[in-house]
Amino acid sequence: MSRVKRFMLHNYSIKHAILSSGSKPFPLPLQHLSQRSSNRFLDIYQIGNKAAIEKERARLADEMNRGYFADISELKQHGGKIAMANKIIIPAMAAVKFPAIEVSYSDGKMLKMPITSDGSMMNADTSAISKPKASLICLSFRASSQAMIDSWSTPFLDAFSDAKNIELYEVSFIDSWILCRSPIKRLLLRTMRKSNYQGKNDGLQRQVVYSFGDHYYFRKELKILNLLTGYILLLDELGRIRWQGFGLATEDELSSLVSCTSLLLEEK
């Protein structure tokens, strides 16, 4: 009972402070609310950790400087095309590794990405996992970028429909605190399983997977700022990023993607 009283008193004090300040609360867009819902709090054991506090403080400052409205403004300027795709393949010596990430299929199975030929990121049932020569990874952080993803993945499927050593993944990132809770997550995956069914074939297939939770440091490694656009990455067999594209695909960019993928297939 005392906990309830303390909670009510706390809420009253906050409400009183807001009203006495004369400021009026304002509604936030749903997208912005979903971003706010993913904010993390320091673990109890880190409260006295100065390094952890400074790290979290730097993160909060970074996220406040770059928000939903900045993404919208950029989208209006260039329609999600934050940069043009590579015209040629990135040399292996200059390529960076794709950050390790765990994703879920709609049937609940887990996968660690990237899958590489050196076996550094393989699941327990490694015999069931193919080790591709090339992988196209399409990253989507908001549903609004799905059309951009389709503009790359559909032509890619057509170009390499019979390929045996290529993988195509569409990764949807879900950072809402509510949707990441186990019961809601299972229900969401079950719903996605029905909508993503595509039948079976022996060639290249689009593999739709989901990554739940906080992705701030994953985005930092890939220098991803705008969450409203789509990101397309071509990986080699060692999980290195050898080509990248953004936003809606153009004919020239698709030609470059197909050419660079063919080069990866020929690499030894």
CATH of the domain at 230: 3.40.30.10
The whole domain housing 15 covers 2-65
Task: Give long-range contacts, CB 8 A cutoff, 24+ apart: 40-43.
Answer: 40/214
pLDDT, tens digit, for every residue of 249-261?
A: 999 999 999 999 9
Based on the fold, state whether residues 43 and 92 are members of the same structural domain.
Answer: no
Q: Roughly how many angstroms between the first and final C-alpha of the chain, as a whole number? A: 69
pLDDT, tens digit, for every residue of 84-102?
A: 999 999 999 999 999 999 9
Please tell me the pTM assigned to this model: 0.71
The CB density around residue 180, as the number of other CB atoms within 10 Å, is: 16
Three-state DSSP class for residue 27: coil
In a domain, 70, yes or no: no
In the predicted structure, residue 118 carries a pLDDT above the cut 60: no
* Residue finishing a domain among 15, 33, 65: 65
Based on the fold, state whether residues 98 and 54 are members of the same structural domain.
Answer: no
In a domain, 141, yes or no: yes
Based on the fold, state whether residues 84 and 53 are members of the same structural domain.
Answer: no
In the predicted structure, residue 44 carries a pLDDT above the cut 50: no
Based on the fold, state whether residues 52 and 138 are members of the same structural domain.
Answer: no
- Average pLDDT over the chain, rounded to an integer: 77
